[in-house]
Structure 1
Amino acid sequence: MPHFILNFLAFCVSKIVFKLDKKHRKIIDINLKLCFPYKDENERKELAFKIYNNFAKFGLDCIKNQNTSKEKILAKVVFDNEEILTQALKEQKGVIFATAHYGNWELLSLAYAAKFGAISIVGKQLKSQRMTEL
């Protein structure tokens, strides 16, 4: 599916969810007020929608990545200081990646596996049982 169609689909999904999901929209607004006390309600609303749109794009990208090639995954990623990782692997040393929810960090596991081999992921239990079951 072409990228522009996925972007349009993400936009439509995010518009609908943004309108219906009052609970999380309120949480986002509280957080935006804390981070950006100088922004007015309209600016915060615009930022909040961008969050929903980004999340929709991410979700569709995850689905799209399920049946993609190593080459396409690696084309989306840049490994900074790759020589450090390569040297550690060459010396058979373990490597621990620590990351936050910034950017498309979930793509790391796919890209690492495509370039270097198997990877294990550790995370904490989700609060939502429904999300855990996904």
Structure 2
Amino acid sequence: MHLLAYIIVYPLLWIISILPFRILYLISDMVYVLVYYIIGYRKKVITENLKLVFPEKSEKDIFAIRKKFYKHLCDMFLEMAKTITISREALQKRFILKNPEVFKKVEKSDKSILLMFGHYASWEWVVELQNQTSLPGFGVYKKLNNKYFDRLVRKIRARYNTTLISTKETINVITNNEAKGLKSIMAFLSDQSPKLSKDVYWGEFMGIEVPCFTGAERIAKKLDLTIAYLKVNKVKRGYYESEFILLSENPKEFKDYELTDMFLREVEKQIYEAPEYYFWTHKRWKHRGKNPKIQLK
């Protein structure tokens, strides 16, 4: 079944990828009508998330954000398909790093860079950063169940000299690279919900206590890596700007979870500024109220 799904879907994705952007966004407008008005994809989850983190907003405001989010979601899905064949030159025009001088300065520090970013605006086109650095890039991701699509995603990233590694491979790959003296840039999407365990860190995200991923911070401290945040904003349809924000070149100087909290505050700032560009389809706050330390009090 996995192979059959790939054989059916891949040609469609490839055709989409070679279309001019103006046609791509016309299709996106049609997909939006289908997804929002007819299918109602995850509409309940999205609405609940928005009402939870914006209790002060009226229902009219919530629905307005929801509509804008769906339009962005459809654009982003088609932009993901476009990545299959988009030229390096086209991607450079559409995903810009505002402060390459800061990035270059940090790069010269002779340390690997651990780059954190959230599910905001466009995380698919972050691969463009490889044009800004001589460091080999690694992206931490969750393997897809369909091995054929998983291989496709890896192949797409390889076009931009980025190697995808699964969460289980992460610590071994980074440790081995550091032992060999191979400096790299490692990208982590760190704003989603981890599995519950007794050791999980509970922090605040959008004013609500939730379990948080701390892998990036722990690895940075263990191996003494530079840790930074990539702020990505949507300028207009099909165009994004990113900003390299240094969190610390000496992560061991920070208390446990302080860097994780700093990262979450950066993501929050962006959400408050333009909430429609956050990835509201995930059940990010599903574990709220389940902190066993609070429940035992």
The separation in 1 between residues aligned to 2:52 and 2:143, in whole angstroms, is 27
| Displacement after TM superposition at 1:9 (Å) | 0.9
- Residue 130 of structure 2, aligned match among 92, 113, 129: 113
The separation in 1 between residues aligned to 2:115 and 2:94, in whole angstroms, is 18
Number of aligned residues: 129
Contact persistence 2:47–2:62 (CA under 8 A): yes
The separation in 1 between residues aligned to 2:37 and 2:82, in whole angstroms, is 25
Q: TM-score, normalised by structure 1?
A: 0.76
- Residue 15 of structure 1, aligned match among 33, 45, 63: 33
Matched, 1:31 2:38: no
Check 1:69–1:22 CA distance in 2 against 1; reply closer, same or farther (3 A cut): closer
Q: Going by fraction, where is strand more abundant, 1 or 2?
A: 2
- Residue 81 of structure 1, aligned match among 88, 99, 102: 99
Larger radius of gyration: 2
Kindly report which structure 2 residues correspond to 1:1-134, keeping only aligned pairs within 5 A, or say none: 1-22=19-40, 24-37=42-55, 38-40=57-59, 42-109=60-127, 111-117=128-134, 118-124=136-142, 129=145
| Displacement after TM superposition at 1:91 (Å) | 4.5
Using the aligned pairs only, state the percent identity. Answer: 23
Q: Going by fraction, where is helix more abundant, 1 or 2?
A: 1
Check 1:79–1:23 CA distance in 2 against 1; reply closer, same or farther (3 A cut): closer
Contact persistence 1:88–1:94 (CA under 8 A): no
Contact persistence 1:14–1:56 (CA under 8 A): yes
Q: TM-score, normalised by structure 2?
A: 0.38
C-alpha RMSD of the superposition: 2.6
Extract unaligned runs of 5+ from structure 2. Answer: 1-18, 151-297
Contact persistence 2:97–2:129 (CA under 8 A): no
SS at match of 1:122: strand
Q: Deviations over 1:21-67 (max 9, x none)?
A: 44610111111222333322x44333222212111101111211221
